[in-house]
Chain A
Amino acid sequence: MSVTNPLPDGLADKGGPAQPLLIVRNLQKYFPVRGGILGGKKALVQAVDGVSFEVKKGETLGIVGESGCGKSTTARLLIGLIDKDKGEIIYDGQDLGGTLSLRDLRRGVQMVFQDSYASLNPRLTIEESIAFGARIQGLSDPVGRARRLMERVGLAPDRFAQRYPHEVSGGQRQRINIARALAMSPRLVVLDEAVSALDKSVEAQVLNLLADLRAEFGLTYIFISHDLNVVRYISDRILVMYLGEVVEIAPVDQIWSSQAHPYTRSLFSAMPSMDPDNRTMEPPLAGDPPNPINPPSGCRFHTRCRFAETVCKAKVPTLRPLSVGSEHLAACHLHDLGSGHSKAGKDVLA
């Protein structure tokens, strides 16, 4: 391994295998909406509100949700591109802002963006783009690293090193972005809709590449996507977000066979059918997701939920295991016997 590994000098493991690579607690980010004559604060977009989750070493956590659910904001918070209002980010047992500096966090966590073109500087050659981070971090032989990584993601360095981003295809550009993220030898890679803009046939190639790299370098992924099929294929666990909050987390097989939160249920039912003899007859939800500027009170989904009762409007449900010790968590009064919901504990979703 040490011979073929093009990524020496990654950060050493600190917490041991049982320590989750990333713990997020009560993460919150509100964006002010400015307006009026004096440009004062008019309202707050509650982009991310009280989000908590863990990512174990070596696993892939998929995050799904619709636009405005806060999944991209969460990604940017995790890598310190925007400052959090509240909450803790703990990387390998070290608290960001406490024992862990932002600079060190960025050695350990890297990101791949959706738009392969906008995420490459048009004036830098491919080799320069990949080598930039390694150079900044003072790693040895940045150009050599860049060329080895190019080789590894399937771009012959002799043909591509001196080219510019506009000269290569979308799939190739996303390979470059992956190589660029890996040049810092991160242990966690946040993939924010990284394959969504690609054509289906190219997407499969990049997914194969991501799976290979994960095995080869022992990477941990946070994989953000709106495509449930893709998330199911690559992830070990799935986290579902709605209007800035986590509504459900579960291992893929469990959530695929039974969704505990009515929103997750609707999201899965909204997937187009692949069977011409069994097409969707009824849309699972009406209307668009509400605006995160003034999210509904209580459970934020209650305005669109067919099981909503007064309690849902009044009380915010907490994310809790479906049964003691279960890895399947949901934030819904239906699963909380003490919530006061008339159908609590009954299997109404099925």
Chain B
Amino acid sequence: MTGNLVDIRNLNVRFTGARTVHAINDLTLTLKQGETLALLGESGSGKSVTLKTLLRLLPPKRTQIDGEIEVNGVDVLTLSGKKLQAYRGEEVSMVFQEPGLALDPVYTVGDQIAESVMRHKGVRKEEALSTALDMLRRVRIPSPERRLRNYPHELSGGMLQRVMIALALACRPRLLLADEPTTALDATVQIQILLLLRDLQREFGMGVIFVTHDIGVAVEVSERIAVMYAGQIVEEGTTREVIKDPRHPYTRGLLAANLHDAARGARLNAIPGAPPSLDTRPDACSFAPRCPLAEPACRAALPPVHVPSDRRRVACIHANAFVAAE
């Protein structure tokens, strides 16, 4: 109805158990068809939980979810059984951080891709295998015919991640979720995978949500960035806006901590402290305890969300002050 591929409205995710954790707090996010969004955040910011919620991978017993998630007009939170299975794989699929753990060691990579194609598309084995071969070609694996018959342990880390991507894209999903897919890889391999994902996104025209903690990676793959902190989105905009004109103090701190332009030997302007534990639902700005600009109002209530332009927002009292200051 809205024309968005992904529509997340007022999502709250809470883990119950020995300790309650408010992992996602009132998160609203949209993604248009064919768009690549980087969810940028540190450990515990809720970026991976957001992905898992989108795929409904969280254990239902210990998770309380409310809010709305629509992917391509389908209400994701009410899916179950066959429909949920079809949704995972056909509509949405995921690439994980450790391809070595996500692939089954006892089947060849060709069989694994073919199996997924057969299950979702209902085609015969030969046809599925030729799709698998075609996919290995598209992820630029050298001598794909031979690789089809390889087991995961026979492949290097970068090759495995290519296979993982081939598997994820074999059923032509509209939405690809990538959970730190290059974090475990070496630098020279990481850039290959990033560029491959960028090319494939253009080729297949799918939407991509790319979770990462690395700003450089986000810049390479995405056209939009949403910065997460304590289960909330604190800043969102196009990659250019967020990198060149960061408005939230946390985004600014993260950019400084990347050190790409830090003067050698100069003292780093580090963000003090550590992220909050989230055992209560935030009722003020979660970043205030670490923020150099915090004032009493920040600690009294949730920060207002400034919307300087369409699809750009900053959850900070000072969002406009930055513009005046510069």
Residues of chain A at the chain B interface (Cβ within 8 Å) = 66-67, 169, 171-172, 199-205, 207-208, 211, 226, 228-230, 232-233, 252, 266-267, 269-277, 279-289
Which B residues from 224 to 261 make CB contacts under 8 A with A?
238-240, 243-244, 253-254, 256-261
B191 in contact with A280 (CB, 8 Å): yes
A199 and B219: CB pair below 8 A?
A: no
The answer, yes or no, to whether B65 is at the interface (CB within 8 Å) is no
A172 to B273, CA, bound (A): 10
> Is B186 interfacial (CB-CB < 8 Å)?
yes
Q: Which of A199, A205, A287 has the most CB of B within 10 A?
A: A199
Given the interface contacts A233-B262, A273-B219, A274-B216, does A204 sit within 8 Å of B186 by beta carbon? no
Kindly state the separation between the CA atoms of A308 and B74 in the bound complex, as whole angstroms. Answer: 54
Establish whether residues B259 and A272, one from each chain, have CB atoms under 8 Å apart when the complex forms: no
Separation of A40 and B225 alpha carbons in the complex (Å): 53
Report the bound CA distance from A232 to B264 in whole Å: 7
Residues in chain B near residue A228, CB distance under 8 A: 187
A281 to B196, CA, bound (A): 10
In the assembled complex, how far is the CB of residue B117 from the closest CB belonging to chain A, in whole angstroms? 27
Report the Cα distance A251→B255, complex, angstroms.
26
B 135-161 binary contact with A (CB < 8 Å = 1; else 0): 000000010000000000000111100
Contact status of A66 and B268, CB under 8 A, knowing A199-B213, A276-B244: no
Q: How far is the CB of B202 from chain A (nearest CB, A)?
A: 13
With A279-B220, A288-B158 known as contacts, the answer to whether A211 contacts B267 (CB < 8 A) is yes
Closest residue of A by beta carbon distance from B186: A66
Asked whether any CB of chain A lies closer than 8 Å to the CB of B91, the reply is no
> A127 to chain B: closest CB distance in Å?
21
Q: Are A229 and B244 in contact, with the CB atoms below 8 A?
A: no
Bound together, the chains give a CA A279 to CA B98 distance in angstroms of 25
What's the interface size class on B, roughly? 35 or more
List 16 A–B pairs whose Cβ atoms lie within 8 Å, in order of A's numbering.
A66-B189, A171-B274, A199-B213, A204-B268, A204-B269, A226-B186, A232-B259, A270-B187, A272-B194, A274-B216, A276-B240, A280-B220, A281-B195, A287-B142, A288-B159, A289-B188
Chain B residues with CB under 8 A of A283: 188, 191-192, 195
Closest residue of chain B to A269, judged by CB? B191
- A-B interface, 8 closest residue pairs, ranked by CB to CB distance from nearest: A272-B216, A204-B270, A66-B186, A199-B42, A288-B156, A201-B271, A229-B259, A200-B257
**Contact partner of A207 among B186, B258, B261, B268, CB < 8 A?**
B268
Residues of A within 8 A of B157 (CB): 288
Q: Mark B177-193, 1 if CB is under 8 A from A, else 0.
A: 00000000011111110
CB under 8 Å from chain A, chain B span 286-317:
290
Interface class of chain A by DSSP: loop
Chain A residues in 8 Å Cβ range of B159: 288
A273: which of B187, B220, B265 is its contact (CB, 8 Å)?
Answer: B220
**Residues 203-229 of chain B: 1 if any A CB is under 8 Å from the residue's CB, otherwise 0?**
000000000011111011000000000
Q: Residue A276 contacts which of B156, B195, B243 (CB distance < 8 angstroms)?
A: B243
Min CB distance A201 to B, Å, is: 4
How many interface contacts (CB-CB < 8 Å) are there between A and B?
Answer: 126
Smallest CB separation, A175 vs chain B (Å): 11
Q: Specify which chain B residues have a CB less than 8 angstroms from the CB of A207 in the assembled complex.
A: 268, 270
- From the candidates B186, B215, B270, name the one contacting A67 in the complex (CB within 8 A): B186
B81 interface hit (Cβ, 8 Å)? no
| A269, B258: Cα distance in complex, Å | 17
Is B43 interfacial (CB-CB < 8 Å)?
yes
CB distance B192 to A286 under 8 Å? yes
Q: Which residues of B contact A199 (CB under 8 A)?
A: 42-43, 213, 275
- Asked if A288 and B189 sit within 8 Å, CB to CB, the answer is yes
- Which residue of chain A has the shortest Cβ distance to B155 in the bound complex? A288
Q: What A residues does B17 contact at CB under 8 A? A: none
B272 an interface residue at 8 Å Cβ cutoff? yes
In the complex the two chains form, is A200's CB within 8 Å of B213's CB? yes
CB distance from B197 to the nearest CB of A (A): 12
Which residues on the B side are within 8 Å of A280 (C-beta)? 191, 194-195, 220
Partner of B264, one of A226, A252, A272, A279: A252
User: In the complex, are the beta carbons of B188 and A201 less than 8 A apart?
Assistant: no
- A204 touching B244, Cβ below 8 Å: no
CB <8 Å contact, B257 and A274: no
User: In the assembly, what is the distance between CA of A279 and CA of B218, in Å?
Assistant: 11
B189: which A residues are within 8 A, CB to CB?
66, 287-289
A267-B187, A270-B191, A284-B188 given. 7 additional CB < 8 A pairs?
A200-B213, A200-B257, A204-B269, A232-B259, A272-B220, A287-B156, A288-B156
Choose one: A66, A275, A286; the contact of B219 (CB below 8 Å). Answer: A275
CA distance A162 to B189 in the complex (A): 44
Which A residues are in CB contact (< 8 Å) with B216? 271-274
Minimum CB–CB distance from B75 to chain A (whole Å) comes to 34
- Measured CA separation A208–B272 after assembly (Å): 11
Q: Is the CB of B43 within 8 A of A274?
A: no
> A201 and B158: CB pair below 8 A?
no
What A residues does B43 contact at CB under 8 A? 199
Q: Would A277 and B240 be within 8 Å (CB), given that A208-B268, A211-B265, A288-B158 are in contact?
A: yes
Indicate whether A208 sits within 8 Å of B267 (C-beta atoms), given known contacts A201-B254, A274-B216.
yes
Asked if A201 and B187 make an inter-chain contact with CB atoms under 8 angstroms apart, the answer reads: no
Closest Cβ neighbor of A203 among chain B residues:
B257
